Amino acid sequence: MFDCGKIAIMGGGSWATAVAKMVINHTHNIAWYMRRDDRIEDFRRLGHNPAYLTSIHFDVNEIQFSSDLNKIVQENDTLIFVTPSPYLKNHLKKLKVKLKDKFVITAMKGIVPDENLVCSDYFHQVYDVPYENLAVLGGPSHAEEVALERLSYLTIGCCVAEKAQAFADVLTSDFIKTKISSDVVGIEYASVLKNVYAIAAGICSGLKYGDNFQSVLMSNAVQEMNRFLKTVNPVERNVDDSVYLGDLLVTGYSNFSRNRVFGTMIGKGYSVKSAQIEMEMIAEGFFGTKCMKEINRHCHVNMPILDAVYNILYERISPQIEIKLLTDSFR
């Protein structure tokens, strides 16, 4: 039976904090990499993350904090990467230690800009991590709800079922249900696309389209997602599963969704820049939109919602005009 060994959390944001809570419930011991020493000092003093999900209290004696990336990688067996994907490349520049023998889990729900690679492909191609040592964590899971111990369902994708199950067992609790999957790339692309569709939902909300239209948008979004996934990774999958459709719905409808909030501001007339400044948190769908548009230039999948969001965010086309054109393409 595979053993995850010593587990490290790589990142200090809200989702990293929620993942740390799930893991430490089971292991009572984790390593935690954070970039900033002042954050680590505040965390030790306060017993909670000073900047995110401050309601989650930790026993700091169960955590080995470090701002030394190489030390954390060297000393641990399973590395859960939870930094925003646009910053992953920059974070890893300091890395001198080999990753290929580690069990690398990406919980980033994003894509690496410039490279236009989902995170597992990035770790495989750039850091030589074999696919059997790569896993992905997906599913409808707002960090804020995990913090409140509200029931959530997560999916762990890995081409080795035994490894996926070992990590699933670490996360499972009274408020976390888990299942495993072999569709690593499909889960990752679905995680990127649902952020794009949540921005679309937000834009429509900001433009005062109602719930009736929102449901049509989401129905078309899951069909668009399915077309893309079938093209890039034609394996057997049920797109109605919670890791695909469920994650899309919660990101598109929930007020906890940063991407939806970002889209709503755009729909109300904010510029991209002013919306980003006001939010103070990363809406990964902004970067994901550009990456997916570039990837789809090679795939040639019919993706009108992605195209509309791209045109609004990057071509500065009026949201009113672009969404009106989009509505004409729906049935």
Q: Are residues 178 and 50 in the same domain?
A: yes
Average pLDDT over residues 145-171: 95
- Shared domain check, 241 and 160: no
Q: Are residues 97 and 28 in the same domain?
A: yes
Q: What is the domain-level CATH number for residue 256?
A: 1.10.1040.10
**Final residue in a domain of this structure, among 160, 182, 204:** 182
Mean pLDDT of 112-124: 91
Do 195 and 158 lie in one domain? The reply is no
Read off φ and ψ for residue 82, nearest 5 degrees: -135, 30
Q: Which two tokens stand for residue 329?
A: 């393409």
Q: Which of 67-76, 113-122, 276-285 tops mean pLDDT?
A: 67-76
Number of structural domains found in the chain: 2
Output the domain CATH number for residue 127: 3.40.50.720
The pLDDT assigned to 238 comes to 95
Decide which of 182, 208, 235 is a domain's last residue.
182
The reply to whether 142 falls in a domain is: yes
Instruction: Flag whether pLDDT at 280 surpasses 80.
Output: no
56 domain-assigned: yes
Say yes or no to pLDDT of 278 above 80: yes
State the residue range of the domain holding 308: 186-329
Asked whether residue 169 falls in the same domain as residue 247, the answer is no
At 39 the pLDDT is 95
Say what the pTM is: 0.93
As to burial, measured by CB atoms within 10 angstroms (0-12 exposed, 13-18 middle, 19+ buried), residue 256 is middle
* Whether residue 108 sits in one domain with residue 134: yes
In a domain, 1, yes or no: no
Strands 111-112 and 117-118: antiparallel
Domain boundary among 150, 182, 214: 182
pLDDT tens, residue by residue, 221-263: 999 999 999 999 999 999 999 999 999 999 999 888 899 999 9
Q: Is residue 2 part of a domain?
A: no
Higher pLDDT: 113 or 62? It is 62
Claim to verify: residue 198 and residue 290 sit in the same structural domain: yes
pLDDT at 282 over 80: no
Span 5-38, pLDDT tens digits: 999 999 999 999 999 999 999 999 999 999 999 9
pLDDT at 284 over 90: no
Residues 104 and 234 in one domain: no
**Pairwise CA distance, residues 268 & 230, whole Å:** 35
**Is pLDDT at 90 greater than 80 in this prediction?**
yes
